[in-house]
Amino acid sequence: RKMKNQLFLVAEVASLVLLLSYGCSKYQKAPQSAPEVAVNVSQLQPDEVVRLYYESFDRKDYATMYALISDGFKQLEPTAKNYELFAAEMDKYFNNGKGVQVVEVNKPDISGDSAVVSYKILLQLNTGDREFESAFTLRKRHNGWKLIHPYGQNVDTS
């Protein structure tokens, strides 16, 4: 009789553990939404967007960076589908780098709702500093100028 009670107790505990683990996996936490941004990004000019993007990157202010990216890019790029994924992707830089300094942001070449801004930054890597030059394409959206291709292969063509 004592053995039967012990087996019953073990079966009850095992069932409870299975039930709890199922319940916890079923209700995993939802992706975190981006924190509020202190700057009204909808009022920025294209060159200000580029400068702020890299200044925010240097401060690890990923919420501001995320606010400067087009919604179309966020839909296309797997690492930008939500703020949590984006922040994790940006944080990878700091495994090899210490910071990012803006060297130069040129005046935008604006044509209608599209702008191109060339820039130069200094990547402060653990192995030494490296200068990098490129250009961003931005599009004017209802909520301001947005980067349509900040990184990766995907480009928001909407």
Contact of 65 with 74, CB cutoff 8 Å: no
Average pLDDT over residues 38-46: 85
Which residues, listed in sequence order, are joined to residue 100 by a DSSP beta bridge? 123
- Dump pLDDT digits (tens) for 43-86: 899 999 999 999 999 999 999 999 999 999 999 999 999 999 99
Coil, strand or helix at 67 = helix
The model carries a pTM of 0.77
